[in-house]
Amino acid sequence: MFQKDVPIVENVESKPHNFLMTFQDAEIAAKCRVGQFLQFKAGGLENMLRIPISIARVTGDRVSILYHVVGSGTDVMSKLRVGESINVLGPLGNGFPQDIPADKEILFVAGGIGFGPFPYAMDHFSNWKLFYGVRNEAQLLLQDEIAALEKAGKAFVATDDGSYGTQGFVTDLLDAYLAKDSSNKVIFCCGPNPMMKRVCEVAAKHGVESHISMEDYMGCGIGICVGCVRKIRDASKPDGWEHKKVCKDGPVFKGEDILWN
């Protein structure tokens, strides 16, 4: 994979503290797969380690990310201007399965900034529905696009405070949808840990396969620091599980293989 400075062609605050950044690089764009991530270098000694962010969209030679300003690193990123460059490492990780049969409906379940990888997935696949949970309307990303998808019956939104869509948990929307018909479906999920754990429970309840994109604090993103691991079921190991690297073995794991604790 690549490590290079790339020119920024867009960096806008689409919602408070939520940014959309696009850079141009044909080599990286050509290598990206749905569900992979990139590692961004923002700053010097204060932000020494890179920041892992999902690939949100690939359009020709342009790659976009959605990021939430939470710390000094993302703050540095948010202040970069069009025409400046940023050092990018990637694309990294395994990504979501690419070989889903066309007749199988993929249920994208996104929580908060975990929506990151799904615009790319929405572009890539055709037979899907989006379940998107956010705290409130102010956190709802790509709102115009989501509204159009809602009208077309392709997207369902839940907010904690009821400021947009259904008030409540997106996992309840998913549960209700699967209660009607759970045949020939597969779940792709990315969001906060409690939500992803609940998605795994809902998936298990309805006998639906799930693929969960984990997020973790990472030292390197390429499997050499072994700082981001999760307990993943492995019958061949003495304890029945193995510490797998989120960055290199993941970030996407089968829901049934994840040991939540």
Residues that bind another protein (CB under 8 A): 1-3, 41, 45-50, 89, 216-217, 219-220, 222-230, 237, 239, 242-243, 248
CB of 244 to another protein, least distance (A): 10
**Alpha helices (H) along the chain:** 26-31, 72-78, 118-124, 143-151, 170-180, 193-206
Closest distance to another protein from the beta carbon of 74 (Å): 14
Instruction: Give the shortest CB-92-to-another protein separation in angstroms.
Output: 10
Tell me whether residue 109 or residue 232 sits nearer to another protein (CB atom).
232
CB 96 within 8 A of CB 117: yes
Least distance between another protein and beta carbon 239 (Å): 7
Nearer Cβ to another protein (45/102)? 45
Could you tell me if 53 and 77 are in contact, meaning their C-beta atoms sit under 8 angstroms apart? no
Residues in the chain: 261
Question: In the complex with another protein, which residue's Cβ is closer, 47 or 210?
Answer: 47
Query: What is the DSSP track for 88-126?
Result: EEEEES--S-S---TTSEEEEEEEGGGGTTHHHHHHH-S
**Closer of 89 and 106 to another protein (Cβ):** 89
Q: What three-state secondary structure class fits 132?
A: strand
